[in-house]
Amino acid sequence: MRKPILVATLLMACLPQFADAQFSWKDTGGKYLDLTHGSRSIARYVYEPIDDSSTERRDETYKPFCHLYEWWSRDSFLTKGPGGKYTHHRGIFYGFSRISYTDEAGVEHEKVDTWHCRKAAQVHREFTAQEATADRASFTSRIDWLGDDGKAFASEERTMVFSLKNKDIVVDFTSTLTPLVSSLRLDGDPQHAGFQFRASQSVFEKTANATTYIRPVSGVGEPGATINWSPKTDNEQTRNQPWKGMAFRLNDKTYAVAYLDSPENPKPARYSERNYGRFGSYFATGVTKEKPLTVTYQLAIRQGEMTPEEIDAMSKAFAGN
């Protein structure tokens, strides 16, 4: 008679205990904002203001980004931070490598780069909203985009919303960019602009050849193989796809990420893929004070695999279809 009770007790001990858990934020002294759900670490928004005291410190602080924690780890990230291969790749991030604008004095600025941030930068100024409940957590960060002269040419309101759905961490990203200058154009290329996700540096060092991409047109690709846009290969595989998925190996586990692009975002949007775990899409567009640029994306992340059918269903739900 005791066996069913014992089995049930063991099963419950092995399952995540989320029933009474709450999301909670913890701010660490102007450096980063940590998100937990019960005992589980979920995300870290890194927003330390730019520090020009040394080249190394500037490289560490020239733009805000979001880390995701590895499942059930309090000190290991699923995503990459500063340093490593391509230091400008950082977790969940957003920027453009070829920005041009005319300032209020009529001076033209070209090739301003908030992707690599060699001279330009993105600087968090304040949190304008923050919320955490049992069902979701969110924040809004006000960010100044600085040109090569150190002056702000645009102001961004960046909102990130976190929730748990079945096996997935769901991250909704919304950005509204308002020019502070008379004219502004955002541009770049698929590898160096847009909204992007970058997996841990360990993927580059150890498991890049195991990374697979999941695509609307061709399904699950071969391990280590990528498809990328170029002017000569602009086709349905690389242009205006509603979603893309990636699976990668980290610490002997498989993780999958679904990237969902809103149909309301500027088009054409062109995807890029790297086997070390950086992927996303970019677009080029003009932006005015009268019509700020708002973009929305959704990421779903899980430990385990995703199928094309699952991601397609997520995409349709995200797009309201």
The answer to whether the CB of 213 falls within 8 A of the CB of 243 is no
Mean pLDDT of 57-84: 95
Q: What is the DSSP string of 75-100?
A: S-BSB--SSSSSTT--SEEEEES-EE
Whether cis (ω within 30° of 0) applies to the bond prior to 268 is yes
State yes or no: pLDDT of 24 exceeds 80.
yes
Least confident range from 183-192, 226-235, 290-299: namely 226-235
**More confident site: 12 or 174:** 174
Query: How many whole angstroms separate alpha carbon 131 and alpha carbon 160?
Result: 11
pLDDT band at 236 (very low <50, low <70, confident <90, very high): confident
Mean pLDDT of 36-46: 96
Closest to 145 (Cα-Cα) out of 118, 178, 189: 178
**More confident site: 199 or 11:** 199
Per-residue pLDDT tens over the stretch 252-283: 999 999 999 999 999 999 999 999 999 999 99
Global confidence as pTM: 0.92
pLDDT band at 19 (very low <50, low <70, confident <90, very high): low
The pLDDT value recorded for residue 6 is 38
The pLDDT value recorded for residue 238 is 80
pLDDT band at 239 (very low <50, low <70, confident <90, very high): confident
State yes or no: pLDDT of 99 exceeds 90.
yes
Query: How many whole angstroms separate alpha carbon 140 and alpha carbon 158?
Result: 5
Closest to 181 (Cα-Cα) out of 108, 117, 122, 115: 108
pLDDT band at 61 (very low <50, low <70, confident <90, very high): very high
pLDDT band at 2 (very low <50, low <70, confident <90, very high): very low
* Bridge pairing between strands 243-250 and 278-282: unpaired
Least confident range from 7-11, 230-234, 239-243, 258-262: namely 7-11
The pLDDT mean for the chain works out to 92
C-alpha separations of 107 from 101, 153, 181, 286 in Å: 8, 12, 10, 17
Per-residue pLDDT tens over the stretch 207-221: 999 999 999 989 999
The pLDDT value recorded for residue 18 is 52
Domains and CATH numbers, the chain: 23-319 (2.70.98)
pLDDT band at 10 (very low <50, low <70, confident <90, very high): very low
Q: What is the DSSP string of 115-143?
A: TT-SS-EEEEEEEEEEEE-SSEEEEEEEE
Q: What angle do CA 111, 113, 115 make, to 5 degrees?
A: 145
State yes or no: pLDDT of 21 exceeds 80.
yes
Per-residue pLDDT tens over the stretch 286-318: 999 999 999 999 999 999 999 999 999 999 999
Would you give the DSSP letter of residue 69?
A: B
Structure token digits, residue 54: 């040394």
Give exposure, 257-284, as e/b (b: 16+ Cβ within 10 Å). Answer: bbbbbbeebeeebbbbbbbbbbbbbbbb
Give exposure, 38-73, as e/b (b: 16+ Cβ within 10 Å). Answer: eebbbbbbbbbebeeeeeeeeebbbbbbbbbbbbee
